[in-house]
Structure 1
Amino acid sequence: MLSLKNNLLKIKVNPVGAELSRITSTNHRTEFMWNGNPDVWNGIAPILFPIVGGLKDDTFFHNGKSYKLPRHGFARRNASMQLHEQTKDKLTFKLVSDEALLKQYPFQFEFYTSYELTENTIIVSHEVKNANAKDMYFSLGAHPAFKCPVFADENYSDYYLEFETEEHSATHLLDSNSGLQNNQTELILNHTNKLPLHYQLFDRDALIFKDLKSKKITLSSKNKGAILSMSYEDFPYLGIWAKPNADYVCIEPWLGVADNINSNQRLKDKEAILKLAPNEVFKASYTISIEHSLLV
């Protein structure tokens, strides 16, 4: 593990997959991230690249050829992710396309992820460089899991997510067998800015929002108040998820979504796919801020 620390926070990053693995109060040792218990879910904050969600039959087509990619792509848990640069306040990791990855994804790329610690905030930045002489197609997303409840004297149902503005939005449902979008929706946010958490909320998989006005969401406790917030200006979609009956909640800013059950599987036609011209660079970032009063 690699670490960054200041007078308020300490974070740890697993070089395998460049996965943010711990956020801890420097003074109180309070943990804010899920512990990755493999009996429940062994992820903590996997990076989703070059796709978000699943592909139909785990397959996409490009220029007449078929390619296999696992759900959420190959960046997560990738041991080829290398530490690129380290300073007192920042860690940057790099993943470069190689022969093995080209068999899964026919584009040369450089992919960077950095974590910068500033006061009570972690800035998570991603950068994609197209190293081809042709357009590159990709998606990008985050999947951080936050401990819930944070404190031992609380229950999961004491917590709620608060959006920065009132929302009227439906989740886009996933097929229970394939994990693909099934063209059905269900109203979740009915002119409200609060989403109460309970263990049955994710019985039908993740909540997927495509039309939120909010670009900031706060995990709050009925007893303790605000715990942490995420700002995601660069990400148009938001996923919220946990395993049923698990003591965490994932807040997932996305640039991309899972395939539809009726997808034609052509990568360039994939919903929300990003296109990057030769030698161009794409950048996106989000922040995680821990409530200051919990750290002093």
Structure 2
Amino acid sequence: MFILKNSLLEIAIHPIGAELQKISAVKNDLEFMWDGNPEIWSGHAPNLFPIVGELKDGRFTYKNKSYHLSRHGFARRSDAFVVDEKSENHLSLKMTYSEATLLNYPFKFEFLVSYALVKNRITITYTVRNIDDKTIYFSIGGHPAFKCPVYPEETYEEYSLQFEHPETSPTHLLNVSTGLFTSETEAVFKTPGTIPLHTHLFDKDALVFKDLKSKQVSLHSKNHGEILNFNFEDFPFLGIWAKPNAKFVCIEPWQGLADSEDSIQVLKDKEGIVALEKNKTYSASYSIEIHERHLV
């Protein structure tokens, strides 16, 4: 486990999947991340690459050849990450293509996940380098799960997500059994810009937004105010999810989406896909800022 620490926060990153697994207050030991209870959901903050979500039939095609990738891609469970850079408040882990990855994803790449801890803010940066002799196609995304409630005397229903702008965007519905998008949408915002959390919010799987005006959302406690701010400036899509009745909420910045039920499965035509030319580099960041009132 890699540890980054300053006077306010300590974070822990596991080398498998380069996954952030802990955010805690140094002075009062408050925990802000889900503990990864395997009986409910073993994840903490998986890093999604080279796809986001589910592929139709678990497959995509590239140059008329079919390849298999599981939901959210292979990076999140990979033991191939190595340290690229490390200092007291910064860590960068790198995964490089291999003969094994080429069997399921026919592109040569370097994928870096970097963490920077500055005061009460954690910035996570994804960097993809094309080291192939052709254009590569990929999606990236985050999947961090935040403890909810943070304080023991609270309930899940006393929490909400509050967006920086009034929002009325619908969620795009997924088929619960396949993980693929249907053609249906559903209204979510009864109060523009606010989503109250409750145990049945995710009965139809994740909430997925494609056209939010906001690039920042806060996790808010009725009793303790704003817990954290989440900035996803570099990402066009946002997912929100939890296991039903679980004590967490995932706020998921995505560059890329699951397939739709009518997908033709061609990778380069996939919604949200990034096309990166040879010798080029792509980066996108999101950040988590814990409100200082919870760090004293």
TM-score in same-fold range (> 0.5): yes
Matching residue's letter, 2:216: K
TM-score by length of 2: 0.99
Residue 292 of structure 1 corresponds to 292
Residue 97 of structure 2 corresponds to 97
Residue 224 of structure 1 corresponds to 224
Residue 16 of structure 1 corresponds to 16
Instruction: State how 1:40-119 maps to structure 2 within 5 Å.
Output: 40-119=40-119
Of Structure 1 and Structure 2, the greater strand share is in: 1
Contact 1:131 1:279 in 2 (8 A): yes
Instruction: State how 1:144-223 maps to structure 2 within 5 Å.
Output: 144-190=144-190, 192-223=192-223
Q: For structure 2, list consecutive stretches of 5 or more residues without a partner in the other structure.
A: none
Contact 1:21 1:33 in 2 (8 A): yes
Matching residue's letter, 2:26: T
* Mapped partners of 2:183, 2:250: distance in 1: 23
Deviations 1:219-277, CA, capped at 9 Å, x for gaps: 00000000011101000000000000000000000000100000000001111111001
Matching residue's letter, 1:241: W
Instruction: Give the stretch that moved more between structures: 238-247 or 126-135.
Output: 126-135
* Mapped partners of 1:283, 1:26: distance in 2: 30
* Mapped partners of 1:286, 1:156: distance in 2: 25
Aligned-CA RMSD value? 0.7
* Mapped partners of 1:264, 1:93: distance in 2: 34
* Mapped partners of 1:57, 1:226: distance in 2: 41
The CA deviation at 1:190 is 4.5
Contact 1:170 1:209 in 2 (8 A): yes
* Mapped partners of 2:31, 2:3: distance in 1: 15
Consecutive aligned runs of 4 or more in structure 1 exceeding 6 Å deviation: none
Contact 1:142 1:253 in 2 (8 A): yes
Q: Look up the SS of the partner of 2:167 in the other structure.
A: strand
Residue 139 of structure 1 corresponds to 139
TM-score by length of 1: 0.99
Matching residue's letter, 2:103: K
Deviations 1:73-119, CA, capped at 9 Å, x for gaps: 00102111112211111010000000000001000000111101000
Residue 262 of structure 1 corresponds to 262
Contact 1:51 1:138 in 2 (8 A): yes
Q: Look up the SS of the partner of 1:100 in the other structure.
A: helix
Q: Look up the SS of the partner of 2:193 in the other structure.
A: strand
Deviations 1:173-216, CA, capped at 9 Å, x for gaps: 00122110011100112461110000100001000000000000
* Mapped partners of 2:194, 2:261: distance in 1: 30
Matching residue's letter, 2:24: T
Residue 123 of structure 1 corresponds to 123
Q: Look up the SS of the partner of 1:293 in the other structure.
A: helix
> Identical aligned pairs, as a percentage?
52
* Mapped partners of 2:26, 2:77: distance in 1: 27
Residue 247 of structure 1 corresponds to 247
Contact 1:13 1:22 in 2 (8 A): yes
* Mapped partners of 1:82, 1:193: distance in 2: 40
Matching residue's letter, 2:135: D
The CA deviation at 1:64 is 1.1
Give the aligned length. 296
Q: For structure 1, list consecutive stretches of 5 or more residues without a partner in the other structure.
A: none
